[in-house]
Each structure stands twice: as C-alpha cells, then as structure tokens.
Structure 1
Amino acid sequence: MGVNIRFLGGAGTVTGSKYLVEHEGQRLLVDCGLFQGYKQLRLRNRDPLPVVPAQIGAVVLTHAHIDHSGYLPLLVREGFKGKAWCTPGTRDLCRILLPDSGHLQEEEAAYANRKGFSKHQPALPLYNEDDARESLKHLHAVPPHEVFEPLRGWRVRLSGAGHILGAASVLIEVGGKRLLFSGDLGRPDDALMPAPDAPPEADVVVCESTYGDRSHPQEDLLAELGPALARLAARGGTAVVPVFAVGRAQSLLHAIAQLKARGELPKALPVYLDSPMAVHTTELYEHHLGEHRLSAAQCRDMERAAHLVTSVEQSKAIAMQRGPKLILAASGMATGGRVLHHLSQHLGDHRNMVVLTGYQAPGTRGARLAQGTETLRIFGQDWPVRAEVVQLASASAHADAGQLMAWLRQLPRAPHRVFVTHGDMEAADALRLRIEHELGWRALVPEHNSTWMA
C-alpha cells in the first residue's frame, strides 16, 4: 500500500492548511488550520472533515499562525486523541494564540446576538476558550533537527523555516518515501527571523506560494514606513495598523523603535499595542534568544516602543486620547479582534490612516481596504472610508517568488513532484509554471479535497 496525501485545506487558497498523509491505515495531519477570508471558505470550518478525527493518529504543526493551527481545538473536541507535534516556539505561541482565538469567537458571537446582526439564532462560536485550552494538552514540543516517531514506523524531522518564531518545515519518512512540507517560508533578509534552512532531499515537496507571483520591493520597511508615519504625525491624525499578533506586530515595533532612535519620528509620538496576544508574544522573544536575530537589549527596546494595552477599558480609553498616535491591533487582515473597533472609530476622518502591513487574503476587510473600498462593513454596519490607506509592500514575513525558487534550488536532487499550495490560484499557478520551466520538475496545484499518491 502506497503513501497518499489528501489536501483538506491550503489548496487553491492561502488559508486553512491541512494535509492528511495516509499509509497502511495510519493517518497523520500536517497543519490544522482555520479557513479565513471569503465566506464560502470560512463555511468550510463548520463542515465535518472527510476523515473522522479519532482516526487521525497524530498532528504535526509547521507553525502557530491560526490558518495553520486554529482548527486544533475543534479537532480535539470532535475526538482527536493523539499528540500535536511542534517546535518549542510553536508550542509557546499556540498557548497564547489558541485560547485567544476561542475567546474572540465567543466575544463575536455574543456581540452578534446582542446586536441581532447574525443570520443564525443564536450565533454560536466555532469553538470556545475552554475548547482551546483543552487542545493545548495535546501539544508536544520537539527541538528542530531531532528525529521523532509520531506514529510507529514514521520518522519526522523539523527544520527552520524563518517566517515567525518556531516556524518549521516538516520532513516525513514513511513507506519508503520522503515527503517535505515547506510550511510558510520566511525571507532570507527578514529583520527578525533567520533565513530558512536549506531543504533536505525529498521525493515529494509540498511548497507554499503566498507570494508565488511577485517580488518584494528593494526598499526596506524603515524606508517605506517612516515617511508615511511622519506624514501622519504632521497632520495630527491617528494611524490604525492591523497587525498579526505573531511576527508582524514585533517587526513593526522594532521598526518604530529604530525610526524614533534615528529621529525620523517624534520620540513623543504615542504608540499603543492593543492586543493581549501580541503583548504576550512580544514578551516571549526574550525567552527564545538565539532563535531570532534580536539581542536581549533589542527585545527590551521593542517592548518599550509601545504602551502595552491588555484590558478592554484601556482599549476604549485610547479613543479619547487627542493628538497624533499609532494603534497597532490584531487581526492583521481585519477579520476580527479589537482592530475592528478602532477602524469603526477612525475610518471616517481624512486626517487618519490605515496601514496594512502584509498579505491581505481575498474576501477579508484588509483586502477590501487595499482595493480602495469606499465603505467597510463592521459589526453589521457600513462605515465610510475617508482615512488614507497605506499598504506596505516590504513588511511581509513570507518569501517572495524568487526566494521560493532559490529555496527549491537548494534541494540535493530533483523531487518526483512538487505540489504548490497555500496561495491564491494566480500566485500558485505562477509558481508552478516557474518550477516547470526553470527547474524542469513536475509541478501541480492540487484541488481542495483531492488525493494524490506520493
């Protein structure tokens, strides 16, 4: 019996990553992510998996972002009994992200019920904070480069992927095959994270393609962010910055600290980090020295770059502050969280600014802002968009098309096949074409729920 890969998410879209590997009746799930973005994708989160969770023997997480880990509480609630293997960094981040995800879903369902704008009566969360905390018991950390056996006869090794704290690529050896899952690959020139490790030899490669059809600009984040924020400060406005609590928030804080130190931003310009999850994540960097590029002193500078906001009362008080200010709040694509309240309060004033800090998945509020929408629907109400919208091209933590190709070229030999995943169709197909034309390898973009022999 051969080795099969079933694409239960991350196929033809940049979200919901789930890859089911099957061999001789054993099943292992690489990544366990939530779908985000378009409603028809989000609805998949409520569809039962085509495999019974209790029949999945183990999970291996590439990293902690919710589109890679956020389905785990539901998987556990529905009967998964095994371990979810990951790096120590991913374990520590999941301890922050997953309970927060459950809490946010409870809050949004309660708000929808109070305001009556949900089509469901009553609106129910996908899972709650208790479900998320229960799923944390299944996390099992293993150091990078250490071989382990999540299932009998299956050998797995994690290697550094850059991108965010704890992110890894996954090599699985089973049934005489070597399967390599890239996870989300970081940039070699990232300000916070080291370059991804060179990939090991593999028969099959599953490679992400978030930026598979484009290149990052030559200018760095400081050169792009500095003038925009200086312009905002001069006119006395408020910048609302939707950030991913893991990775992007810390990159922005590091950049703001540098801009203030260089005199390109007023030292007195108030900066608020309004995300308990991002606050806890920022503090985590000091506990993982050596896994990122920052020194202990730089970690402390990053923490001091903003007023750290944790309570709802503090969050509400920010709106009362007069004068220019920056508000960094999750989520990064404005799909939920406290950033929605700040957007509803500040979108209508032309002095204000919305700074989009990376990839915005189609169907998200962030994508609609990037496309120039004149109104934005938040909490069942349409808010006029008069604020300046700035999309940073240099803030991404993902490798671009050329960097993805450079990573693939480091493979010791040509794989039998490359599956191009975790990208919009246009990006995924552009990378597929480059792999075929430049490397001469067989490559394809798998369809959702398709099964392929490795």
Structure 2
Amino acid sequence: MSARLTFLGGSGTVTGSKFLLEWEGRRVLVDCGLFQGHRDLRERNWQPFPISPRMLDAVVLTHAHLDHSGYLPALVRDGFNGPVFATGGTLDLCGLLLRDSAHLMEEEARFANRRGYSRHHPAEPLYNAKDAERALDQLRAVEWGVETELTPGITATLRPAGHIVGAATVELHVSGRTIVFSGDVGRYGSETMLDPAPVTHADYLLIESTYGNRLHDPSSPLDALTAIVDRTTQRGGTVIIPAFAVGRAQSLLFYFSELKRVGRLGHVPIYLNSPMAIDASELMCAHSGDHRLTGDQCQRACEGVTYIRDAEDSKKLVRDPTPKVVISASGMATGGRILHHLAQSAPDPRNTIILPGYMAAGTRGAALRDGASELRIFGQTVPVRAEVVNLEMMSAHGDRNDLLTWLRNFRQPPKRTFVVHGEPESSEAMSSAIEEELHWATSVPSHGQIVELP
C-alpha cells in the first residue's frame, strides 16, 4: 500500500517545517515548526491544523529551533496527546525554547495591549506557558542510531546532522521503504560543531535548501569580528548582534573567547543579554558528544562574557553608552530583548549591527540585510543609521557545496528527491544543482502538496 506525504510547512519557505506521513491509518508528523517572516506566513500559525491533532499518532523532531519545534504547544493544546520523539539534546533545548517562546508571546500580547498597536483587541498569544509545559511532558528521548518504533508499522532512526546540539537527520522506515528527512544539515569543518553524519540509503529523500543557491564566504570569522569591533569601539560605538539563543550565540561566545585568549580584543566587554542563550550555553557544555569544543574551550567561552539575566540589568545595559559588544536574541530580530537594543542603537551611526547568519524574508533581520533605512519596533518607526554588516559566513547551515557533499554519501539515487526548507529561488537552485551534478530526479513541492510514495 502506498504511503502518503503531505507538505504542511517548510515548502516554499524556510520556516514552519511540518511533514505528515500517512500509512494504513497511521499518521506521523516530522517536525512541528512555527512559520516566521512575512505576515501571510505568520498568519498560518493561527489557522486550524489541516487534520485534527487527535488523529496524529506521533511527532518526531529533527531539532529544537522554533521553525522546527515551536508549533508543538499549539498542537497539544488542540488535542494531540501522543509522544514526541527527539534526541536528548533536542529534548533539553526544547525545554528552553518552548518555555521562552510562550513567555515572549505572552509578553508581546501584554505589551501590545498596553501600547495599543495590535490589530486584534485584545491581543492574545498563540499559546501560553501552560500549553508549553504540556507539550514538554510528551517529549520522549531517542538514542542516536537506534531504530525506534513511533507507532505500529513505522520506525525511525536518528543520525547526527551537525547544525546545533541534538540536530538529527530522521530516517523513517515503513513497509519496506526508507524515507529520509535531512533536517538542517550542518557545515563540514565547523570549528564548533561535528560534521553531519553520512546517510547512505533512501527510497525517498527530503533535503533542505536554506543555502541552496549560495556558498559561504571562506574568510575567517575571527578576523571579521576583530575588524568590526575595532572600528566600532574606536568611534565610541557598540556592536549589537541579534543571535539565535541556541547555536549561534554559543558560536559567538567561542569566537570572542578565542579573540580574548590571543589578545585581539583588548578590554572590550562582551555581554550575553538572553537568559535562554545563557542556559543553552551551559547545556552545550553538558552535551559534549554533539560538538567539537573541549571542556576548557567551553569553560573559556562561558567565563569570557558577562551574563545578563535580570530584566532591570537588561534595561541598564540598553541605556549604557559605553563601547561594548552585546549578543542578544532573537536571531532574526523578530522579538525578545534584541528589539530594545535595536530601538536604542540603530539610530546612532557610531554603532554597528552584525547579522551573523540566515535572515528569513519578512523579518527585521532581512530588512536590515537589505538596507532598510528604518524599522518598525514596538509600534514605532526607528531610523537605521548604524553600520550594518552581514556575516552569513557564521551560519550553522551548510551551503550548496556542503549539501551536495552530504548527498554524495548515498550509494544510489533515491527514487525521488524533494527539495524543501528554502526560499523559492534557493530551492529551485538546489534542485537544479542536484539534477546537473548528481543526475537525480528532483522536485520542489508546494505548500499543502500531497504525494504518494509507492
């Protein structure tokens, strides 16, 4: 009997990853992510799930980033009561991310109601802290490389994908077929993360394409960061870095600790203004098998920075005019404490805003990357006069060549390869590259598309 695959997210866009596999009345969802970016994408988060969540037997996560896990509390609130399978690292990080996501949604709704800038009256969060806790109660740990039953007749094997702690490629096995979901494939030769593990067989493959149309700059991030910090502090400015609390923030801490170790930063203070990023940094050290850093490197990275947890201390830091480096979340400037820093610092030409990775279309980060002269923050228009530097070389996503290197591990072509998790131009470019260089049959599915897997 055919299995059926429905693309409920992560197709035509780089966010909202959700793939529904159905076979003989069984239903497994791979990833359960939030849509981010343009308003029309974000509004999909508020639409009813295409099937009753009660009909799902299980969910399996590739990793913890919100565009892969952040819809779980809404799914559970609306009736899903089955297990959610993920690696130990992903389970621990989801504990941080989902709680923080719910908190930020509640805070943003309260702030919008207080300031009166929401289109909805009253503004409500997509989900709340209670929903997040219920979702976390349904998480189940899966060991690397161990075939695990998700529901009768469907099993999964998870292999390291690099990218961030706990990130996995998911192999689903159903009725003699192997369906591989790449998740977010990491980079080869990363200074912080392990190389993505090889996968050698798939009957059907879903491959991400975040950077399917680009190659990373091979320049050293250490040199780039040194130059930016030097010129910014010499003109009396502050370096502001929106960073994903999980993954990017830890890489930045490592780079800055290395610069301090060799004396290239002088006495410039480094601040990490994100309670979740602080906790994620400590979790990274606890999951030593998921990355390259030694215990000493982890310790130096955590000790070379001033942590800001308290909200009042965060407000003081925002107002502090002295030259410094501030790392804060969220990574694409869609919410969180980074917005207060941008509102304060963006109008001052002495300051610099570093964009250290991928910025999805429709986010403030993408607007800054594309040269926006102003931003809307907390219902106000904020002029952008600060220097803006795009450092995509620091991304934890593999570029086109990394993705092709990973694909060359397959001993024979899959029957069909679906290119997902990218903006349209990126997915189309990746699809063409696979066909031209590997001679595989590929397609770029559309949102909501249903395919049969014979």
Counterparts of 1:372 and 1:156, CA distance in 2: 44
Does structure 1 retain, via aligned residues, the 8 Å contact 2:27–2:56? yes
**1:99 equivalenced with 2:82 (yes/no):** no
* Displacement of 1:229: 1.1
Q: Residue 437 of structure 1 aligns with which residue?
A: 436
Q: What is the SS of the residue equivalent to 2:91?
A: helix
1:377-406 deviation line (CA, Å, top 9, x unaligned): 101111010100011031000000011011
**2:358 maps to which residue?**
359
Q: Name the structure 1 match of 2:5.
A: 5
Shift of 1:309: 0.9
C-alpha distance in structure 2 between counterparts of 1:115 and 1:282, whole Å: 34
For residue 433 of structure 1, what is the amino acid of its counterpart? Answer: S
Q: Following the alignment from structure 1 to structure 2, what is the Cα–Cα distance between the partners of residues 78 and 159?
A: 30
Q: Cα offset for 1:321? A: 2.7
Give 1:22-37 correspondences, 5 Å limit. 22-37=22-37
1:23-54 CA distances to partner (integer Å, 9 max, x unpaired)?
01100000000000000000000001111100
Match of 2:323 in 1: 324
2:132 counterpart residue number: 132
Q: Which shows bigger deviation, 36-45 or 217-226?
A: 217-226
**Length, aligned pairs only:** 453
Provide the rounded CA distance (Å) in 1 between the counterparts of 2:18 and 2:427: 16
CA contact (8 A) 1:225 1:392 kept: no
CA deviation vs aligned residue, 1:198-251 (integer Å, no higher than 9, x gap) = 013110000000000010111121122221111112112111110000000000
Q: Which is worse superposed, 248-257 or 231-240?
A: 231-240
Contact 2:319–2:344 (CA<8 Å) still a contact in 1?
no
Q: Greater shift after overlay, 294-303 or 282-291?
A: 282-291
Query: After the TM superposition, which residues 285-434 of structure 1 pair with which residues of structure 2 at under 5 Å, given as runs?
Result: 285-434=284-433
Q: Is the 8 A contact 2:87 2:142 kept in 1?
A: yes
Structure-2 separation of matches of 1:51 and 1:369: 37
SS in 2 for 1:324: coil
CA–CA distance in structure 1, aligned partners of residues 318 and 27 of structure 2? 50
Contact 1:3 1:177 in 2 (8 A): no
Query: Aligned runs of 1:93-242 on 2, under 5 Å?
Result: 93-242=93-242
Contact 1:167/1:183 (CA < 8 Å) preserved in 2? Answer: yes
Gaps (5+ residues) in structure 1? Answer: none
Deviation track 1:55-99 (CA, whole Å, cap 9, x = no partner) reads 010000000000000000000000001100000000000011100
Please give the alpha-carbon distance, in whole angstroms, between the structure 1 residues aligned to 2:70 and 2:289. Answer: 27
Deviations 1:354-384 (A, max 9, x none): 1111010010000000111111110111101
Q: Is the 8 A contact 2:419 2:430 kept in 1?
A: yes
Return 5+ residue gaps in structure 2 as ranges. none
Q: State the shift of 1:323 in Å.
A: 1.8
Distance in 2 (alpha carbons) for counterparts of 1:329 and 1:320: 15
Mapped to 2, the partners of 1:270 and 1:166 lie a distance apart of: 31
Structure 1 stretches (4+) deviating beyond 6 angstroms?
A: none
* Between 217-226 and 417-426, the greater mean CA deviation after superposition: 217-226
Q: Matches of 2:78 and 2:392 in 1, distance apart?
A: 40
Give, as a single letter, the amino acid of the residue that structure 1 aligns with 2:39: K
Identity between Structure 1 and Structure 2 (%)? 50
- In structure 2, what is the Cα distance between the partners aligned to 1:346 and 1:178? 50
Q: Is the 8 A contact 1:348 1:383 kept in 2?
A: yes
1:38 corresponds to: 38
Structure 1 counterpart of 2:405, which letter? A
Tell whether the 8 Å contact from 1:254 to 1:305 is kept in structure 2 after alignment. no
Partner SS for 2:389:
strand
8 Å Cα contact 2:318/2:340 also seen in 1: no
Asked if 2 retains the 8 angstrom alpha-carbon contact of 1:53 and 1:80, the reply is yes
> Any conservation in 2 of the 1:224–1:394 contact (CA below 8 Å)?
no
- Once the two structures are TM-superposed, the CA of residue 441 in structure 1 deviates from its matched residue by 0.9
- Report if aligned partners of 2:242, 2:355 keep a CA contact under 8 Å in 1: yes
Q: Which amino acid aligns with 1:181?
A: F
CA drift at 1:186: 0.3
Equivalent pair of 2:33/2:68 in contact (CA under 8 Å): yes
Q: Please tell me the root mean square deviation across aligned C-alpha atoms, in Å.
A: 0.8
SS of aligned partner of 1:290: helix
Tell me if structure 2 keeps the 8 A contact 1:2–1:175: no
* Higher mean C-alpha deviation, range 380-389 or range 284-293: 284-293
Per-residue deviation, 1:283: 0.7
Deviation at 1:290, TM superposition (A): 2.2
Quote how far apart the aligned CAs of 1:155 are.
1.8
Contact 1:170 1:182 in 2 (8 A): yes
Equivalent position SS for 1:224: helix
Shift of 1:191: 1.6
Contact preservation (8 Å) 1:375, 1:382? yes
Using the TM superposition, give the Cα deviation of residue 175 of structure 1 relative to its aligned residue in structure 2, in angstroms. Answer: 2.1
Tell me how far apart the structure 2 counterparts of residues 221 and 234 of structure 1 sit (CA, whole Å). Answer: 20
TM alignment of 1:57-76, pairs within 5 A: 57-76=57-76
Contact 2:12–2:420, Cα closer than 8 Å, also in 1: yes
Distance 2:250 2:191 in 1: 10
Greater shift in the superposed pair: 201-210 or 256-265: 256-265
Structure 2 equivalent of residue 251 of structure 1: 251
Equivalent position SS for 1:323: coil
Query: Paired residue for 2:277?
Result: 278
TM superposition shift of 1:320: 3.6
The residue that corresponds to 1:87 in the other structure is: 87
CA distance in structure 1 between the partners assigned to 2:40 and 2:176 by the alignment? 38
Give, in angstroms, the shift of residue 187 of structure 1: 0.1
1:263 corresponds in structure 2 to 263
